[in-house]
A = this chain, B = another copy of it.
Amino acid sequence: MIAQSGGPSAVINQSLVGVVEGLRGSASITKTLGARHGVRGMLENSIIDLSDVDQATLDRVAATPSAALGSTRDKPDHEYCEKVLEVFKKLDVRYLFYIGGNDSSDTCRIVHELAVEAGYPLHAFHVPKTIDNDLVHNDHTPGYASAARYVAMAFMGDSLDNRALPGIKLDVVMGRHAGFLTGAAGMLREREEDGPHLILMPERAFVFDEVLGEVDRVYTKLGRCHIAVSEGVQDRDGTPVAALLTDVQERDAHGNIRLSGSGALGDTLAQFISRKLTPEGGKAPRTRADTLGYAQRYWPDASPVDQREAREVGRFAASQALSGIESGSITIQRTAGPGSPSPVLDYAVDLHRVELSDVAAKTRHMPDEFISADGRGVTPAFCDWLRPMLGDMPRAGWL
């Protein structure tokens, strides 16, 4: 049984196809099933047979963004997972591959523990996926590099736009807890004057006066200021800025306020900055906000590196399960390049298995060495780390 969960990515189908390919030809596997909309499809018997899908279709699906089986925001508790296990018993499901973020690894963990308790032989594997890159024990996660590629290109383009028609421009980036994706905004900066001039990540407290002061300083100097702000920025007390400034208080199944699918944070922050920086009796600075939105996770021009890795992660999960290992989460670890014990010029990664409980419901943050000392930018170490994952990137020219 294979399923997909959480916010889709541009390469989540590569992992799906990787699992299908990895299981093919094994005598242990009599049938490969796909549940529509994750665990929900298991309970609602919305299940399709993937055993005989031809390779051409698989290849085309792999290259298609967003979850081809459908996804879900359901976060199953023990009772829900017991129902999942009942379905598995009924259908004689002996292998589970759940592709998703840390909530999905937790689901995997619960189902597996229930199976162990019940004495039901089940191999349960979590296949990582998250554009936020917030899974522990991973150098990076499938989906992140493609989203980072989108963000880097967006900020390159918008920095040039902001140079052509100067003003204050805010772009809101996804990532509730981790700043990896927002950090990618600074990837294609080449010159001191290039935007984004501020990169505001959830790992550093958002102090209104400090941010205003810095925006004012850049705007006074350059006549413009381009700001990357994570949707997840918080004040010193850990209160989301989105909650402080806006009326948007819709909460998801996890009790988190909804941050995406709305321009509220960007708009309100832009109005706030514009009002505060308008001189008394003077003209308000031209201030605009864009919320990069779902394009970050669906953009149909994925990083080729990300595509290959996502496929391999799926295949590796299948091979681990077929080798007899009972459960685990697959992780990508870097073996070469910056941060490696023996750095070489080539970028190389290895796949490993860790315990489900090592990953489940934990959150990884940007390490300190990736965040500049003033807390409003990224370091060269971050760019060195990110660069090889992105594929070919455009370069700007200036007059």
Contact = CB atoms under 8 A, between A and B. Distances in A.
Interface stretch (A65-73, A79-87, A335-343): A65-73
Contact of A165 (B71, B157, B264, B300): B71
The 9 closest A-B pairs by CB, nearest first: A263-B263, A261-B288, A60-B397, A157-B298, A290-B293, A66-B160, A61-B397, A67-B164, A71-B164
A154 interface: yes
A262 interface: yes
A26 interface: no
A263 to B, nearest CB: 2
30 contacts: A37-B164, A53-B399, A57-B397, A60-B397, A63-B397, A64-B394, A64-B397, A66-B157, A67-B164, A68-B397, A68-B398, A69-B399, A70-B164, A70-B166, A153-B300, A154-B299, A157-B298, A261-B288, A262-B263, A262-B270, A262-B289, A263-B266, A263-B267, A263-B289, A263-B291, A291-B291, A291-B293, A292-B293, A293-B293, A301-B394
A161 interface: yes
Q: Which of A71, A161, A164, A293 has the most CB of B within 10 A?
A: A164
A112 interface: no
Given A8-B165, A300-B396, 19 more contacts: A48-B399, A50-B399, A60-B396, A64-B398, A65-B157, A66-B161, A70-B163, A156-B300, A158-B295, A161-B298, A261-B288, A261-B290, A262-B267, A263-B264, A263-B266, A263-B267, A290-B294, A291-B293, A292-B293
Interface residues of A, number: 65
Contacts of A262: 263, 267, 270, 288-289
Contacts of A263: 262-264, 266-267, 289-291
B294 A291 contact: no
A395 interface: yes
A297 interface: yes
A157 B396 CA distance: 26
A320 interface: no
A242 to B, nearest CB: 13
Interface in A21-68: 34, 37, 48, 50, 53, 57, 59-68
Nearest to A7: B165
A260 interface: yes
